[in-house]
Amino acid sequence: GAYYEIWLDGEKVISAEEHPDVKAARQRNTNGTIFPHNEEPIYGDRYMPRKFKCCVTVPGDNSVDLFSQDLTLVVITDEQGNLEGFNIYAGGGLGRTHNKEETFARLADEIGFVQAADVYEAVKAIVATQRDYGDRYNRRHARLKYLIHDWGVEKFKAKVEEYFGKPLEPFRPLPPWRYKDFLGWHPQGDGKFFYGLSIANGRILDRGNFKLKSALRKIVEEFQLPLRVTPHQNLLLCEVSPDQREAIQHILEEHGVRDVTALDPLERYSMACPALPTCGLAITESERAIPGVLERIRRLMNRLGLQNEHFVIRMTGCPNGCARPYLAELGFVGIVPDTYQVWLGGSPDQTRLAEVYMERLPLAELETALEPLLVFYRDRHQPGESFGDFCHRVGIPALRQFAANYVPSSAPKRYRVDVRADQYQQLKALAAAKGLSLAALTREAIQRYLEQARSTNQE
Ligand code: HEM
Ligand code: SF4
């Protein structure tokens, strides 16, 4: 019941009643899926063995990273658009622990199809299976993904069907999954519009001329729009009538909030978890480090002639995988301070697991590590092939071999400049705070100084 109440400053501000159908479905006792006389009929008197993540999507739309979820329902309609039922996936999950091979990221499997009228019973059957057979001894082994991994899909399905009381129908064919972020203006289909707003790493703030927080406050106060939070840490402003569009666009521009067309796609498709200083489990920086990392990768790509390319980059401060790095084309997973495991080979639409390419990359060596991979990709990818698909096709051993034999040909000549000790210390501290290498920060500082000097001269 706690999930149906939101308390703020000691007052209950939102309390939602369950839909009568949901309430009835929860209470219905099919084949032992519930504890009939318990206040919480499905859980009983204790929680599930571990977190249990669910999502719902429509065919072709993988904006929810469905392969990372414990349970996914895919809405299946007939040709007229009437709801027929749901395809079910189960057993995805990303959290793992470094150096413990028995913990791993896993993609969800296709389980079957259920008619719309049976969906509550099917979900209860899956939840009951994990509730009753999920591991309650070892927390690291308690997710549904391990139960399905240990049993295999067939045994899992058979147990679910016992609770469900009949066979699941065969999984319905689906079109390929695509990652969609719905940024910018889109018609809702009812005459109104919604606007997808990119929020870098989900952090809503005002900083300098960029006043995202103020813009959002103004929009919500003026138009009372419902907001949706997306799994990619963005926001959708919903229910916008055609005559409000211009005013909303104006508020965003006036507050320095960039339109999606002004975003570097590296940033648009990237994601980082909160990590330091918010998360007690963090080993490395993530949210605060990723802007500098993206900037450095973009600079490197520009130098290598890859200015028109982009791919999905995700970073986390520990192996729990909150920003889902194991599904990215290039994933960074914090392992020891300032050092990351590098994962490669996920797909642009998050339908394939990445693999470990490098166990420890100190962030200071980012360019040295990535340059060979990007050059290999630049020179050898097939037309239209993304970086992640390329890495997957050639395979980790070939990538490692290419990197080992790589001789940087295009490396610019390097020059040395002396700085005072106190300047050095300040630069070092600033570089650490920004997640940049000392060299990158110093180059940037000098560049800014030169630009300033040039514009002063021109004036
Ligand atoms: C800030 C403190 C946070 C803590 C302490 C935390 C903790 C964890 C832990 C322990 C896991 C591993 C779960 C397992 O293997 O069973 C995990 C996974 C995950 N978390 Fe977080 N998390 C935090 C923030 C977030 C945020 C802000 C998001 C979303 C924006 C998020 C999304 C996820 C996702 C997608 C996974 C991986 C999928 C999975 O294995 O279920 N987490 N988190
Ligand atoms: S992945 Fe990031 S947010 Fe999640 S637990 Fe690790 S450091 Fe914290």
DSSP letter string, 318-380: STT-TT-GGGSSEEEEEEETTEEEEEE---TTS-S--EEEEEEEEGGGHHHHHHHHHHHHHHH
Per residue of the chain (459 residues), give pLDDT as tens.
566 788 889 998 887 777 888 888 888 888 999 998 888 889 998 999 999 999 999 999 999 999 999 999 999 999 999 999 999 999 999 999 999 999 999 999 999 999 999 999 999 999 999 999 999 999 999 999 999 999 999 999 999 999 999 999 999 999 999 999 999 999 999 999 999 999 998 899 999 999 999 999 999 999 999 999 999 999 999 999 999 999 999 999 999 998 888 999 999 999 999 999 999 999 999 999 999 999 999 999 999 999 999 999 999 999 999 999 999 999 999 999 999 999 999 999 999 999 999 999 999 999 999 999 999 999 999 999 999 999 999 999 999 999 999 998 755 566 788 889 999 999 989 988 887 778 878 888 888 898 888 888 766
Ligand 1 midpoint to CA 282 (Å): 11
Ligand 1 midpoint to CA 48 (Å): 16
Per the CB < 8 A criterion, the answer to whether 141 and 133 are in contact is no
2-164 CATH fold = Sulfite Reductase Hemoprotein; domain 1 (3.30.413)
CATH architecture of 266-405: 2-Layer Sandwich (3.30)
333 CA closest ligand 2 atom index:
1
233 CA closest ligand 1 atom index:
30
Which residue's CA is the closest to the ligand 1 atom numbered 20? 322
Q: Which residues contact 71 (CB under 8 A, 6 or more apart)?
A: 52, 53, 54, 55, 88, 89, 90, 123, 126, 127, 144
Residue 202 CA to residue 272 CA, distance in Å, equals 9
- In CATH, the number for domain 184-262 is 3.90.480.10
Our answer on whether the CB atom of 229 is closer than 6 Å to any ligand 1 atom is: no
Instruction: Extract the tokens encoding 431.
Output: 């570089």
Which residue's CA is the closest to the ligand 2 atom numbered 4? 322
Which residue's CA is the closest to the ligand 1 atom numbered 33? 322
Ligand 2 midpoint to CA 141 (Å): 18
Which residue's CA is the closest to the ligand 1 atom numbered 31? 322
Composition of the chain by helix, strand, coil, percent to 5: 40, 20, 40
Residue with tokens 């990359």: 361
